[in-house]
Chains A and B, each alone.
Chain A
């Protein structure tokens, strides 16, 4: 059995060097559509129409993207003759629409933040990406982020999923059980806007309608590095400047 120790050591350090360096391995992030200026008004209209969740809004020849609604169906990339512009990267954390200034944790939390994750009707993708943060390639523990099994010890409530009716009670209970000061981070488009599920008798159309959200990480699902960026932002370790500016695309 001791060979595991040896095999583990032999692998060497596998963790990404983010946030000190940019991680550029292929496939760490699917990228996302960004505001695009088309050559014709029709192209812009087409792009807006093909979007199933109305995340793309056309204004003349320009289109604006509300990433909180984008469910990453890639139709605007694959099915258009003139596709939307696509950006790589993963530093996507942003503030909720009703909030104008970012309020990260004070510096005491910077190197030690305990995270309570709640699956509020998630499809499993966002949850899985959160889980992957613990794997050696991302290894969030090296940054002082820890998952905690009890809300009593949690600083940050990380919610994935559009908040199903059956999870609304447990989610509220978890939030209430957390000590102040606490922050809430909505991860994934479903948690931000309800995503493909929209508003229905069983879905609350995002965490914002149930709890006060402090930070949002858009994406469907946001890749692990995007979530890591979100955590760093909440901990106050990524400067506010790297936050997405409140763009006109937000409607």
Chain B
């Protein structure tokens, strides 16, 4: 049974004080500490790039900080690198590194913080900055069979409206295989597979037949360069992109984005909007988890349960549509609040639907627990140990199934989550079944949160006027259904987006997929994939 960790009440001020003191002792000379701003409680500026790995190790391993992500910004004469870490219970810590624009090589932190692996690879691919000692660069976002070196689309000199390059695929391109055993070969899966209803991504299953030794995902088939094409758009236009690169967690991403925009403008959304945002975010989480559970049931070929879970999901989609006018909750968030208000009667109708879905999920759970063949296929499948999960900074339900209790709703409360009572389910086994249990328990907690929001909803406006007419940058965050989502936004004086960066939970967690997908029987592959429940499009952006 799931154990629960209660969200820590109040902020971890003591932790922050400790951190500041030890930072002073260890790195006093090389760093300058800034104050809290743009969503961060602490900014540490480095004067020397060489101590970056040591500092990151200090934060990640010695102070229990979680890794948030890396944001690279190209400013007219300088590179601005931001390394975000979360001090649980206190807030976000930023490590800043400013370098002349001529710099082409940076120290890599992957040897200490493995979670930074893909961040560095992406920056290398898109900006052309090399990371010293990174073991595997190249062939990431821009696939090597199509893109040749020297195209750095995120550089300011590269115009987003530039037409497609119509590049030719290199037919002789060979994937990198690491398994060598007599008779070993790789089974290619995708990018078009499952009749296409699977998202576009590619796997190489390295095997000698029957048992797969290693499975590596190859992503970014859906890369639409959201971060690049957002540049130059107004903040509200770019919101459409932030909302729509990943539909299954659209509301959470738009929430994080709007909070960043509000933070830049110094505007707070009105209380009713804040509360309704929690309601909508939890509705989205509930619906996402129902869908994820349906996918897990389907992967084990337990058709009736898959059908029933899928009905629950569709009912929630219909409830969302009847409630908010859109099945995937598009077009609701706006900087400064919500685009529309909801009547009490509407909320009551929604509650009925949510209760129905929740009780249906409970019934389903009860039956699934009695289905031994179903459990056999989930148990001990795709195990991610707690150490690996910490190592790779896995977030969301996957992290929580491997004893990583990071949940931004509690670790760094936003949008008034601290006002509601809820629990964070935690499992330690790290296998497929643990992930399923976490999803089921979280669905219950979401329903509980929705109840609390509806019961305590206060009257008032849902929108305050919002505009931005000064340059600035801020971090917005939200706990998306799949885990922590970070949106970094910088606007210029004219209110246009200068740099937008979204760190998504799928991007974080795909990195850890290969840990779960090592030495398994071929027929377990769909199950591992389903219990991870990751989205390629959310990762790709």
A, B assembled together:
yes
A2 to B313, CA, bound (A): 24
Contact segment of B24-32, B367-375, B439-447: B367-375
Chain B's nearest CB lies how many Å from the CB of A86? 9
Residue B169, interface by CB 8 Å: yes
Q: In the complex, which of the residues A26, A135, A162, A168 contacts B318, with contact meaning CB atoms closer than 8 Å?
A: A26
CB 8 Å contact bits of A112-136 with B (1 = contact, 0 = none): 0001111111111101111110011
Knowing A30-B321, A78-B331, A118-B196, the reply to whether A136 touches B240 (Cβ < 8 A) is no
CB 8 Å contact bits of B297-314 with A (1 = contact, 0 = none): 000001111011011011
Residue A167, interface by CB 8 Å: yes
A1 to B318, CA, bound (A): 31
Once the chains bind, are A125 and B191 in contact (CB under 8 Å)?
no
Q: In the complex, which of the residues A74, A130, A132, A147 contacts B314, with contact meaning CB atoms closer than 8 Å?
A: A132
Knowing A26-B318, A121-B224, the reply to whether A202 touches B327 (Cβ < 8 A) is no
Residue A98, interface by CB 8 Å: no
CB 8 Å contact bits of B448-484 with A (1 = contact, 0 = none): 0000000000000000000000000000000000000
Knowing A27-B317, A123-B537, A201-B165, the reply to whether A196 touches B241 (Cβ < 8 A) is yes
Chain A's nearest CB lies how many Å from the CB of B324? 9
**B contact residues around A29 at 8 Å (CB):** 321
CB 8 Å contact bits of A193-233 with B (1 = contact, 0 = none): 00111111111100000000000000011010000000000
Once the chains bind, are A75 and B321 in contact (CB under 8 Å)?
no
**B contact residues around A201 at 8 Å (CB):** 153, 158-165, 225, 228
Q: In the complex, which of the residues A27, A162, A164, A220 contacts B322, with contact meaning CB atoms closer than 8 Å?
A: A27
**B contact residues around A73 at 8 Å (CB):** 240, 330-331
Residue B4, interface by CB 8 Å: no
Among B323, B325, B540, the most chain A Cβ lie within 10 Å of the Cβ of: B325
Once the chains bind, are B328 and A198 in contact (CB under 8 Å)?
no
**B contact residues around A198 at 8 Å (CB):** 229
Residue B78, interface by CB 8 Å: no
**A contact residues around B226 at 8 Å (CB):** 197
Residue A158, interface by CB 8 Å: yes
Residue A169, interface by CB 8 Å: yes
A167 to B326, CA, bound (A): 28
Residue B222, interface by CB 8 Å: yes
A164 to B332, CA, bound (A): 26
Among A5, A25, A168, A200, the most chain B Cβ lie within 10 Å of the Cβ of: A200
Closest to A157 in B: B196
CB 8 Å contact bits of B205-243 with A (1 = contact, 0 = none): 000000000000000111111101100000011001100
A131 to B371, CA, bound (A): 25
A128 to B307, CA, bound (A): 15
Closest to A165 in B: B164
Residue A77, interface by CB 8 Å: yes
**A contact residues around B263 at 8 Å (CB):** none
Q: In the complex, which of the residues A8, A28, A129, A148 contacts B195, with contact meaning CB atoms closer than 8 Å?
A: A148
**B contact residues around A195 at 8 Å (CB):** 244
Residues 1-38 (chain A) with a chain B CB within 8 angstroms: 1, 3-5, 7-8, 11, 14, 25-31
CB 8 Å contact bits of B334-374 with A (1 = contact, 0 = none): 00000110000000000000000000000000010011110
Knowing A8-B304, A118-B192, the reply to whether A167 touches B222 (Cβ < 8 A) is yes
Once the chains bind, are A28 and B318 in contact (CB under 8 Å)?
yes
CB 8 Å contact bits of A164-202 with B (1 = contact, 0 = none): 111111110110000000000000000000011111111
A25 to B318, CA, bound (A): 8
A171 to B308, CA, bound (A): 33
Once the chains bind, are B222 and A8 in contact (CB under 8 Å)?
no
Once the chains bind, are B339 and A202 in contact (CB under 8 Å)?
no
Interface size class of B (residues with CB under 8 A): 35 or more
Closest to A138 in B: B314
Q: In the complex, which of the residues A3, A72, A135, A170 contacts B326, with contact meaning CB atoms closer than 8 Å?
A: A72
Once the chains bind, are A166 and B326 in contact (CB under 8 Å)?
no
A71 to B245, CA, bound (A): 13
Chain B's nearest CB lies how many Å from the CB of A78? 4
Residue A68, interface by CB 8 Å: no
Closest to A220 in B: B330
Number of contacting residues on A, CB 8 A?
74
Residue B246, interface by CB 8 Å: yes
A127 to B408, CA, bound (A): 29
Chain A's nearest CB lies how many Å from the CB of B367? 7
Residues 486-541 (chain B) with a chain A CB within 8 angstroms: 535, 537-538, 540
**A contact residues around B535 at 8 Å (CB):** 124
Q: In the complex, which of the residues B196, B328, B340 contacts A78, with contact meaning CB atoms closer than 8 Å?
A: B340
Once the chains bind, are B246 and A27 in contact (CB under 8 Å)?
no
A102 to B285, CA, bound (A): 41
CB 8 Å contact bits of B276-319 with A (1 = contact, 0 = none): 00000000000000010010000000111101101101100111
**A contact residues around B198 at 8 Å (CB):** 119
Once the chains bind, are B229 and A164 in contact (CB under 8 Å)?
no
A228 to B408, CA, bound (A): 39
A220 to B222, CA, bound (A): 17
Knowing A128-B247, A136-B310, A204-B164, the reply to whether A147 touches B221 (Cβ < 8 A) is no
A27 to B349, CA, bound (A): 12
Chain A's nearest CB lies how many Å from the CB of B201? 9
Residue A144, interface by CB 8 Å: no
Residue B197, interface by CB 8 Å: yes
Residue A249, interface by CB 8 Å: no
Chain A's nearest CB lies how many Å from the CB of B327? 6
Residue B320, interface by CB 8 Å: yes
A128 to B533, CA, bound (A): 13
Once the chains bind, are B321 and A203 in contact (CB under 8 Å)?
no
Residue A149, interface by CB 8 Å: yes
Knowing A123-B537, A201-B165, the reply to whether A221 touches B328 (Cβ < 8 A) is yes
Chain A residues with a Cβ under 8 A of chain B:
1, 3-5, 7-8, 11, 14, 25-31, 52, 71-75, 77-79, 115-125, 127-132, 135-137, 147-149, 151, 158, 161-162, 164-171, 173-174, 195-204, 220-221, 223
Q: What are 24 A-B residue pairs whose CB atoms fall within 8 Å in the complex?
A: A5-B304, A8-B308, A11-B308, A14-B311, A27-B319, A72-B331, A73-B240, A73-B331, A78-B331, A119-B199, A119-B200, A128-B291, A132-B317, A135-B310, A135-B311, A164-B540, A165-B223, A166-B146, A166-B222, A198-B229, A200-B160, A200-B224, A201-B162, A220-B244
- Starting from the known contacts A4-B371, A27-B317, 19 additional A-B residue pairs (CB-CB under 8 Å) come to A7-B308, A27-B321, A27-B322, A71-B330, A74-B330, A74-B339, A78-B339, A121-B222, A121-B224, A122-B222, A122-B537, A125-B327, A158-B196, A164-B224, A166-B220, A198-B229, A201-B161, A202-B229, A203-B225
5 closest Cβ pairs, A-B complex: A27-B318, A117-B196, A125-B247, A27-B321, A135-B310
